[in-house]
Structure 1
Amino acid sequence: MKDKKRPPSVKPLARERIAVLFSEAEKIFHENPGYSDRYVALARKISMKERVRIDHEYRRRFCHHCSRYLVPGANMRVRVHHGWVAVTCLGCKKTTRYRVERTP
């Protein structure tokens, strides 16, 4: 089965829409967190459909297990321990760890 080719101009448009959705999620989180979660779900759906990676700056702003928009102190707990940052989503209680480089 042959894969459908998309016009090359679709990927930059998808990246732009993902950026807009994350900025809107950040703006509206304190008024209605449900909308923020919906915006993140839409951004993930766009990235999967168009096969575009979500940028590094946005990738750590949502839970990869339940697709919630994460804000430290509100629905996310952050702990630093032995060169790792442990981020716990308080919605689904899943923990994601990120490596941290130490500066001399």
Structure 2
Amino acid sequence: MKKRVYSKEFKDQSVRLSYQRDNIKELADELGVAVQRIYKWRRAAKDASNPKIQQAKQEDVEIKRLRKALKEKELELDILKKAVHIFSKNDGKSINL
């Protein structure tokens, strides 16, 4: 089954009409698209028009990246602590210099 591609103008007009109509299912039937697709286009149009949502998405990506970096640094620190502990042991022998 071939995936249908809709133009931006068609999507924008569909979203505009969906806000003007009472019954979105009838509109979807008239346009020949699934009802969920119209709701998806509405969400996308709402997200695109709201800069706060776009900024929040960018911040989420940055937070994810920083958490990953922090986890790596904590692992490195744990490894170094274990190495210092291992090398600082005397094995009960005294060292005379």
TM-score by length of 2: 0.27
Relative to its length, the structure with more strand (as a share) is: 1
Relative to its length, the structure with more helix (as a share) is: 2
